[in-house]
Amino acid sequence: MQQTLVPEAGVGTTEPSRRPQVVTAVAGFVIGGGVIGMLWALSGVNAGALEDAQDACSALARVGTIPDTTDSPGDRTVAVLAPEILHRMTAARELSAAAAAASDTYRPLAEHIDGVSRMVFSLHFNEIAGQRHLAQAEQLCTQL
């Protein structure tokens, strides 16, 4: 008969430590989670800002044709605007401001829509600056 020797527990049977593997796995998990969280947070801000800017442009388009009376400075061809036009203009201004607050990329759009809203709410359609803001806002909207 052949005799096999089995070592006693704790004698000559040292397994390599798994501590480096565990530390590496935990560090990888923490770093990966941080990167995923950062990307998720950044993508949500920009996506919301783009949607707000697009919605602002849609609201501005739904305002309709804004009269241009710059050729006749004393004439205000429209004395009163329908309430829905004023509500849409307010929506365009607020949505563009929300987009600009989320991302500076949309700040020029917000500034031009604000200039248009000031012209519309004051009923001074002969303001050259207001008409210029309208043209710039419409141009920026086509680029979204």
Q: Residue 113's pLDDT is what? A: 95
pLDDT at 143 over 80: yes
Q: Residue 91's pLDDT is what? A: 93
Percentage with pLDDT > 90 across the chain: 38
109 contacts 54 by C-beta, under 8 angstroms = no
pLDDT confidence of 132, banded at 50, 70, 90?
very high
| Separation of alpha carbons 82 and 71, rounded Å | 24
Residue predicted with more confidence, 18 or 52:
52
| Separation of alpha carbons 120 and 66, rounded Å | 8
Residue predicted with more confidence, 26 or 96:
96
pTM: 0.65
